[in-house]
Chains A and B, each alone.
Chain A
Amino acid sequence: MRRSGAQIALSLAVLALGAGVALGTAFLPAQSGYARIGPNFIPAVVAFGLIVAGAFLLVEALSGGWRSMPEPAERTEHALHWGAFAWISGGLVAHMALMQWAGFVLAGAVLFACVARGFGSARALRDAGVGLALSLGVFLFFVRVLNVSLPGGWLKPLIGGL
């Protein structure tokens, strides 16, 4: 098996995470009561665990790859489709930004249309329409029936909400 750059990078990421936790632990107080250990003890254990796990992953990655991975033939995958990934990520980020401002319903419609586009749908207007109807239904059900408050945003004069 060829050496996988991604596996090495991920192993290093786990190691770095462990180092980060260790660093954060250093700033935690060691104050202790009867237990003689403080709020910094378990974080230290977790940091140690992450570093050990990361080190093992790195050793595996450098010596023939991570163990017992599924055979490439078993995985029914095509090559990474960046466009799909980008559309869905973009939709989620737009949704995050639009939520407080444009409201739940419009943010939901945008998210819906972006995800559908990511899955290869070519009918953006129809998708946005379906998304609008779905999020409006959900909004009204949660706000009116379940009394869970959701932001109405731009549509607030029409449909209410926060």
Chain B
Amino acid sequence: MEAFAGLLQGFDVALKPINLLWGFIGVTLGTFVGVLPGVGPALTVAMLLPLTAQLDPTGALIMFAGIYYGAMFGGSTTTILLNTPGESASIATALEGNKMAKAGRAGPALATSAIGSFVAGTIAVVLLTLLAPVVVEVALKFGPAEYFALMVFAFTTVAAVLGASTTRGLASLFVGLMLGLVGIDSQTGQPRFAFGVPELLDGIDVVVLAVGLFAVGETLYVAAYTSRLPETLEKMSGSIWMSAQDWKRSAPAWLRATAIGFPFGSIPAGGAEIPTFLSYSLEKKLTKYPEEFGSGAIEGVAGPEAANNASATGVLVPLLTLGIPTSATAAILLTAFQNYGIQPGPLLFQIQPDLVWGLIASMYVGNVILLVLNLPLIGIWVKVLSIPRPMLYAGILVFATLGAYSLHQSWVDLATLYVFGLLGFVMRRFDIPVAPAVIGLILGPLAETQFRRALSISQGDASVFLTQPISAAFLAVTAALVVVPWLVRRRRRLRKLG
């Protein structure tokens, strides 16, 4: 009930003409940038961050909600027409989506992805509305020990459990944690690893890391390793509308995918990759047209796209209620909050209910804007794809460097950006996941603060993490997540040998 009142109040904020305008601009810009090949949602949000410099916090965050949704939708357009998934969560969509486009069914593929995103996004926001106050209620009882344990859980799932390789995930995480050490220690004021450089005393900005890894690193990688390959852009031919049969096959897939995607996003485990693949294989199993899978089955687009969107909304549950980002995009959204001096968490729901509920309400609105604006405009977005590659990447780098430079008006940030670009290039080439590094950078300092606060309260007694029941439970689940798969693999290997 409290949620309902809050939401009504939120709609009051979100439906103000000026905020509607910000939402509208956000969705349009987000889609435009998201459509650009190689630009995923995380990079879109990071690159558009400087634009909000002059907005009030509510307007800026509403614009970001629009950018977030627009970027996701734009990304799927590119995935379907160009077969270049901008992020790992779009790989499952590319499997069937690009096949549909090749068969001249690009229109229905884009339509099912847009409408599916709308359906999944809207249901997920309803779930977010209902779930957030409950989580807040629990989270208000959390002390530093509980938060620290929860963050360790998030680190572990993001780095060790979700990726292809635990070793590479952990290496990436610790590089991010190391970058998080740079700057002034928030507890004692002691400078750490800043080497006397004033720009480094502020710490390393998540935006610089994300833009460096995603924009500069990706551009270097594409130029050096794939730019000399031929590329085929599928034409947008035929009707965009879905036939009655398309609807009948898509609708159940959207709903099932929402049921998979939202929980995956909302437990602090992050990553939309697993739910999209789960949805893909579920649809493949349930379909009445198994022969179409592999040559363009509409369920194979509808499911993963809906799962991706539901999970992206689910990620906002831990972000808003606990202040814990579990995807690279969420990490950047958290920076956007922090730039305004806002620390998401249970207290935010009490101190600034207008802002939080306004943001949640604007997601309902953003989903509608996305559908009514973008479906008819697909033709225009597709044109963006025909920008010649040299121009496209040159433009991306002009904007990427602008974002870094505008932080301190200093070339040091540009140098840092280039170093992260080289890092991103190497990570991309050797299949090292980048999300753990981004999350490590932003969550590491928060985790350290909670850790030291917990120890201050317990007078240095480290057993506090194990004697508090909630903290102990999180740590136990974390340990199980690491140990159980390892034991299973080991047993399997032993059985094979024996």
Q: Which A residues contact B (CB, under 8 angstroms)?
A: 6-7, 10, 14, 17-18, 21, 24, 28-29, 31-39, 41-43, 46, 49-50, 52-54, 56-57, 60, 66-70, 76-78, 80-82, 84-85, 87-89, 91-93, 95-97, 99-100, 104, 108, 111-113, 115-121, 127, 130-131, 134-135, 138, 142, 146-151, 162
Determine if B292 is an interface residue (Cβ-Cβ < 8 Å).
Answer: no
Known contacts A84-B227, A146-B54; is-contact A10 B426 (Cβ 8 Å): yes
Given A80-B224, A88-B223, A134-B398, A28 and B452 contact (CB-CB distance below 8 Å) = no
Residue contact B225 to A119, C-beta cutoff 8 Å: no
Residues from chain B with a CB closer than 8 A to the CB of A24 are: 192-193
Residues on B lying within 8 angstroms of A by beta carbon are 50-51, 53-54, 164-165, 167-168, 170-171, 173-175, 177-178, 181, 185, 187-188, 190, 192-193, 216, 219-220, 223-229, 388-391, 393-395, 397-399, 401-402, 405-406, 409, 411, 414-415, 417-418, 421, 426, 430-431, 444, 448, 451-453, 455-457, 459-460
- 6 A-B pairs besides A53-B170, A82-B224 with CB distance below 8 A are A24-B192, A56-B170, A92-B414, A116-B394, A142-B50, A149-B409
Whether the pair B406, A148 counts as a contact (CB closer than 8 A) is yes
Query: In the complex, are the beta carbons of A142 and B187 less than 8 A apart?
Result: no
Give the residue name and chain of the A residue nearest to B427 (CB).
Answer: A10
Measured CA separation A162–B405 after assembly (Å): 13
By a CB distance below 8 angstroms, the chain B residues around A127 are 390-391, 394
A117 to B397 CA separation, bound complex (whole angstroms): 13
Q: Could you give 21 example pairs across A and B, Cβ below 8 Å?
A: A7-B430, A34-B460, A35-B460, A38-B190, A49-B177, A70-B431, A76-B229, A78-B229, A85-B223, A96-B415, A99-B411, A104-B405, A112-B394, A119-B223, A120-B390, A127-B394, A147-B54, A148-B50, A148-B53, A149-B409, A150-B402
B366–chain A nearest beta-carbon distance, Å: 22
A91 to B401, CA, bound (A): 11
Closest chain B CB from A80 CB (angstroms):
5
- Interface residues of chain B: helix, strand, loop or mixed (majority): helix
Which A residue sits closest to B177, measured CB to CB? A46
Chain A residues near B459 (CB-CB < 8 A): 34, 36
B177/A85 in contact, CB under 8 A: no
Is B394's CB under 8 angstroms from A150's CB?
A: no
| Closest-CB distance, A35 to chain B (whole angstroms) | 4
Closest Cβ neighbor of A31 among chain B residues: B188
Residues of B with C-beta under 8 A to A97: 411
Measured CA separation A21–B171 after assembly (Å) = 14
B220 lies within 8 A of A89 (CB): yes
Q: Judge whether A85 and B455 touch: CB under 8 Å.
A: no
Contact A119 B389 (CB under 8 A): yes
Q: A39-B187, A134-B398, A135-B398 are in contact. Are A80 and B225 (CB under 8 A)?
A: yes
Instruction: Give complex CA distance A144, B435 in Å.
Output: 35
A18-B178 Cα distance, complex, nearest whole Å: 9
Distance, CA A131 to CA B190, complexed state (A): 43
- B411 and A77 contacting across the interface, CB-CB below 8 Å: no
Complex Cα distance, B452 from A17, in Å, reads 24
